[in-house]
Chain A
Amino acid sequence: MSDEKRKPTPEEKAAAAAEARAKAEALRKLREQEAQASQEASQVEPSQEPQEEVSAPAAKPVSEMTPEEKAAAKKAAAAEAIAKAKAAKEAKEAAEAETPVAEQQSEAVATPAKPVSEMTPEEKAAAKKAAAAEALAKAKAAKEAKEAAETGADTVDSAPDADAKAKAAAAAKAKAAAAAAAKAKAAREAGGDESGDDDAKAKAAAAAKAKAAAAAAAKAKTAQATGDEAPAEEAPKAPSKNQPYLDKYVSRISEAFGQEVIEASYINELGKEVPTLTIQNERWYQVAQYLRDDEQLSFEYLSDLHGVDYEDRLEVYYHFYSYKNRQSLAVKVKTSREESKVASVMDLWHGANWNERETFDLLGIHFPGHKDLRRILLPDDWVGYPLRKDYVQYDEEV
């Protein structure tokens, strides 16, 4: 067997790997979508209570409806079912529809104010102002709800609860909107006999929609509030025995390098209360040097170094120990997945040598400054980085 036959060139391998990865990515996305759809479907159920509040009063008169009306209601139910299937799409639309809802509402509020045409101009102006203020407040609330939903999505790992709540709220909103739309449509379709009611129904639907939106906004707000509360809840807890150490590290480092090099600092409650710092990637090497050499810090021992793939970023985790001060410290440095770069600390702690090589080998994180950065556990001609979440094994047979 000739060499060429047996082994494709690295370029071919890379191309094949890229293709495989793209396929896997597509597959993953598809799966994700499915998962999301099913998740939303399941999340709609628990959030039925507020929805029922909205639809129950509208549903009650149904019992007194004529057969034609009943048929219409049935149709509406069918439409609702279809709408439910489109929940994901509608959620977006609902979010967009929020602003018009607010406007509608402000109009609705303005309407009863209109008949008071005998008011003095001053009073009129005041009423107008009040209405405007109300509308503004409502629009603000809607916007806040939107933001809450977005922040919920952003803080996936820090506040999964808030995220879930926001999602549930969004789902509820979508459902309510869909139901309202379906009802309006059904009303319009059944409109032959009861065209007079049509307007009223549409109005009711709009009102229901507005109510649902308001409820969703309120819910999202509470979600946000609980999101904010989470750290506040921890505060009253007895401060960790390591809190003074964390404060000391933070103050020492920010004295030397400025506040901005510390992206985050906290006590890791789940990890034996170890003080944890997230250090700015660009300044990491200088900070690392300071951690080792500073009299009061003197972290002369690197216990562990490894990387983690969080899908939107890569992180390198360091665990230091100071035999002098008998204290632990965990440091995290973030880097992008596309151009991963974290300064090597091999010449500060020689123990980082193989750990950095291993991290490079399995996660593809580059350590500029490392003198011998090559694969350590896998063969040199291995394609890809197995511990990355989107890794697909390259198979020569395919």
Chain B
Amino acid sequence: MNHNILTTHVDTSSETGLRTEEMLLNVGPQHPSTHGVFRLVVKIDGETIKEAIPVMGYLHRGTEKLAENLTYTQIIPYTDRMDYVSAMTNNYVLCHAVETMMGLEIPERAQFLRLIAMELNRVASHLVWWGTFLLDIGAMGPFLYAFRDRETILDLFNELCGARMTFNYMRVGGVKWDAPPGWIDKAKEFVQYMKKELNNYHQLVTGNEIFINRLIGIGKFDTKTALDYSLSGVMLRSTGVKWDLRKDEPYCIYDRFEFDVPTATEGDCMARYHLRMAEIEQSLRILEQALEQFPSEGEVMGKVPRVIRPPAGETYVRIESPRGEIGCYIASQGKDKPWRLKFRRPSFTNLQILPKLLQGENLSNMVAILGSIDIVLGEVDC
């Protein structure tokens, strides 16, 4: 967090004879469009961005350090606070890493509950993105619709595990709570409702000319750049790479369901908008099948030793979060606490390309580009 990174430069000999001046504009950390406590120091010349320097760490809590003194079960609630918009995926990646090391079998019913929770969370996460992204670029209405429908999902989660956002739902070996009676039917109802509602969303926004003009061709990059910058998720798929860990390195029980991996080739903000909307559709498709095939009975916790001690060694697993590839690395010394725990956070990695995208861009496009990356600051700072 260096405060003297930039020096201003005054140009008095411009061709027009007008005195122009480069100036520093501070955006955030308390700015609504930064989706949290992200700070950008932007050097602008008129309306054009010359340089953008991201400053972060305002939400750094040292999760990885804290985890070294916690047992694996105790770490799970900390993962909720990383990507707090889709905490189920974070829960899962930690449990999945430990289970991979210990070679545990997860009961069928728990697998279904995990998958349903993750996909519902993906829809909720994309709804938050949809609402706030449109809010950023000047549309107030969609935000209200998105949060109204997301509330239904949060209510479902509340019934499932007693929390709306910080779930602490999954455990090594299964899930903490079974679905209460009638929950599956409620979830089915929501899926049907959401499918219809999605059409309304499109009618409300997608065809809007102002909206289209604000996004087309903005924040563009190609596949090579995307790979070079380690981008993942929608950021990568918007450049034409058909890559989804749910499909290509299947985990949980994703290989049992039919769904498509939507891709685009434009690599701009518009492509990313369409992809996220298409992903909601695909998630609903997975949910429909999973809820239909949900086993009528069974255990929700596998046979797990009382004290969880993964064997000495290391593991790195990665799964598809709504924001991209979330990874979890564990170095174990055979104890009940990790020697080193590291999360590969998609928000952090995807954000790296922002200074490159902003260079030479018009200032008003800044929020559109930042919004299209879809970051969660809890995850960036970890």
Q: Which residues from chain A sit less than 8 Å from chain B, CB to CB?
A: 157, 160, 268-272, 274, 300-304, 306, 308-309, 317, 319, 323, 326, 330, 349-355, 358, 362, 374-380, 386-387
Are A351 and B339 neighbours in the complex by a CB distance under 8 Å? no
Docked-complex contact A350 and B352, CB < 8 angstroms: yes
Given contacts A271-B317, A386-B62, contact A374 B230 (CB under 8 A): no
Q: Apart from A303-B230, A303-B327, A319-B316, what 20 extra A-B contacts exist at CB < 8 Å?
A: A157-B312, A160-B334, A268-B315, A270-B315, A271-B101, A272-B316, A303-B344, A304-B318, A306-B342, A308-B331, A317-B329, A319-B344, A351-B229, A351-B352, A374-B2, A377-B381, A378-B57, A379-B1, A379-B57, A380-B2
Q: Which residues of B (344-362) have their CB < 8 Å from a CB of A?
A: 344, 348-349, 351-352
Given known A274-B316, A323-B227, A387-B65, contact A353–B100 (CB-CB < 8 A): no
In the bound complex, CA of A369 to CA of B313 (Å)? 30
| B100/A271 in contact, CB under 8 A | yes
Q: Are A304 and B329 in contact (CB under 8 A)?
A: yes
Query: In the assembled complex, how far is the CB of residue B238 from the closest CB belonging to chain A, in whole angstroms?
Result: 15
Question: What residues on A are CB-neighbors of B340 within 8 Å?
Answer: 308-309, 387
Q: A330 touching B243 by the CB < 8 A rule?
A: no
Q: Mark B9-22, 1 if CB is under 8 A from A, else 0.
A: 00000000000000
Residues in B with CB closer than 8 Å to A352 are 230
**A contact residues around B227 at 8 Å (CB):** 300-301, 323
A349 and B228: CB pair below 8 A? yes
Cα distance, A350 to B226, chains bound together (Å): 10
Instruction: From A271, A302, A309, A386, give the contact of B314 (CB < 8 A).
Output: A271
Inter-chain contact B344/A386, CB cutoff 8 Å: no
Report A307 CB to chain B, min CB distance, Å: 9
Chain A residues contacting B327 (CB-CB under 8 Å) are 303-304, 319
Complex contacts, B352 vs chain A, CB 8 Å: 350-351, 353-354
Assess whether A304 is in contact with B1, with CB atoms less than 8 Å apart.
no
B260: interface (CB < 8 Å): no
Say whether B137 faces chain A, with CB atoms less than 8 Å apart.
no
**Which among B310, B349, B351 has the greatest number of chain A C-beta atoms within 10 A?**
B349
- Give, as a whole number of angstroms, the nearest-CB distance from A178 to chain B: 30
13 contacting pairs across A/B (C-beta < 8 A): A157-B312, A157-B333, A160-B334, A268-B314, A270-B310, A270-B311, A271-B315, A271-B316, A302-B230, A304-B316, A354-B348, A375-B57, A377-B60
* B136 CB–A CB distance under 8 Å: no
Q: From B231, B241, B314, B325, name the one whose CB has the most chain A CB atoms within 10 angstroms.
A: B314
Q: Check B317 against A270 for contact (C-beta < 8 Å).
A: no
Residue among A268, A304, A323 with most chain B CB within 10 A: A304
Q: How far is the CA of A303 from the CA of B243 in the complex (A)?
A: 13
Inter-chain CA distance A21–B275, complex, in Å, is 51
Interchain CA distance A272-B319 in the complex, whole Å: 13
* Residues of A contacting B382 in the complex (Cβ-Cβ under 8 angstroms): 377
Q: Which residues of B contact A375 (CB under 8 A)?
A: 1, 57
Q: B231 to chain A: which residues have CB within 8 Å?
A: 351
CB distance from B219 to the nearest CB of A (A): 17
Q: A271-B314, A377-B381 are in contact. Are A304 and B342 (CB under 8 A)?
A: yes
- Which residues of B line the A interface, CB within 8 A? 1-2, 56-57, 60, 62, 64-65, 100-101, 227-231, 241, 243, 248, 310-318, 325, 327, 329, 331, 333-334, 339-340, 342, 344, 348-349, 351-352, 381-382
**Whole-angstrom CA separation of A136 from B344 in the bound complex:** 57
Known: A351-B230, A351-B352. A376 touches B317 (CB 8 A): no
Task: For residue B226, give the distance in angstroms from its CB to the closest CB of chain A.
Answer: 9
Chain B: minimal CB distance from A51 (Å): 27
Instruction: List, in ascending order, chain A residues with CB within 8 A of B228's CB.
Output: 300, 349-351
Contacting pair A323 B243 (CB below 8 A): yes
Q: How far is the CA of A319 from the CA of B314 in the complex (A)?
A: 12
Complex Cα distance, B339 from A280, in Å, reads: 24
Residues from chain B with a CB closer than 8 A to the CB of A157 are 312, 333
CB <8 Å contact, A308 and B229: no
Q: Which residues of B contact A274 (CB under 8 A)?
A: 316
Given A353-B352, A376-B56, are A386 and B65 also a contact pair (CB < 8 Å)?
yes
> Nearest B residue to A391 by beta-carbon distance?
B65
Which residue, of B230, B241, B334, B339, has the highest number of chain A Cβ atoms within 10 A? B230
User: How far is B329's CA from A269's CA once the two chains are assembled, in angstroms?
Assistant: 14
Task: Contact check, B56 vs A377: say whether CB atoms are below 8 A apart.
Answer: yes
Residues of B within 8 A of A349 (CB): 228, 230
A298 CB to nearest chain B CB (Å):
11
Also in contact, A272 and B317, with CB within 8 A (given A317-B329, A362-B64, A374-B2):
yes
Find out whether the CB atom of A354 lies under 8 angstroms from the CB atom of B315: no
B95 to chain A, nearest CB (A): 15
- A364–B63 Cα gap in the complex (Å)? 18
Q: Give the nearest-CB partner of A317 in chain B.
A: B329
A304 and B344 contact, CB distance less than 8 A: yes
Q: Would A350 and B60 be within 8 Å (CB), given that A304-B329, A306-B342 are in contact?
A: no
CB distance from B27 to the nearest CB of A (A): 18
Note all chain A residues with C-beta closer than 8 A to B1: 375, 379-380
Q: How close is A104's CB to chain B, nearest CB, in angstroms?
A: 40
- CA–CA, A330 and B342, complex, Å: 15
CB closest chain-B residue, reference A355: B349
A350 to B227, CA, bound (A): 9
For residue A354, which residues in chain B have a CB less than 8 angstroms away from its CB?
Answer: 348-349, 351-352
Q: Which residues of chain B have C-beta atoms less than 8 A from A302's C-beta?
A: 230
Compute how far the CA of A160 lies from the CA of B339 in the bound complex, rounded to whole angstroms.
Answer: 15
With a CB–CB cut-off of 8 A, which chain B residues contact A387?
64-65, 340
Q: Do the beta carbons of B241 and A323 come within 8 Å of each other?
A: yes
Q: Chain B contacts of A304 at CB under 8 A?
A: 316, 318, 327, 329, 342, 344
CB distance from A353 to the nearest CB of B (A): 6
Which of A270, A303, A319 contacts B101, CB < 8 Å? Answer: A270
Contacts of B314 in A (CB 8 A): 268, 270-271, 308, 317
A231 vs B1: C-alpha distance in the bound complex, in angstroms?
48
- Residues on B with C-beta less than 8 A from A268 are 313-315
Known: A270-B313, A377-B381, A380-B2. A350 touches B229 (CB 8 A): yes
Cα separation A174 to B228 with both chains bound (whole Å): 59
Determine which of B230, B329, B342 lies in contact with A301 in the assembled complex, contact meaning CB atoms within 8 Å: B230
Residues of A contacting B325 in the complex (Cβ-Cβ under 8 angstroms): 303
Report how far A270 CA is from B329 CA in the complex, Å.
11
Complex Cα distance A177/B55, Å? 64
CB closest residue in chain B, given A388: B65
Count chain B CB atoms within 10 A of each CB in A160, A306, A380, A387 and give the residue with the most.
Answer: A306
Chain A residues near B312 (CB-CB < 8 A)? 157, 160
Task: Give Cα distance in the complex from A160 to B243, angstroms.
Answer: 40
Q: Separation in Å of the B335 CB from the closest CB of chain A?
A: 11
Separation in Å of the A229 CB from the closest CB of chain B?
Answer: 17
**Given A270-B101, A376-B56, A386-B62, also A303-B318 (CB < 8 A):** yes
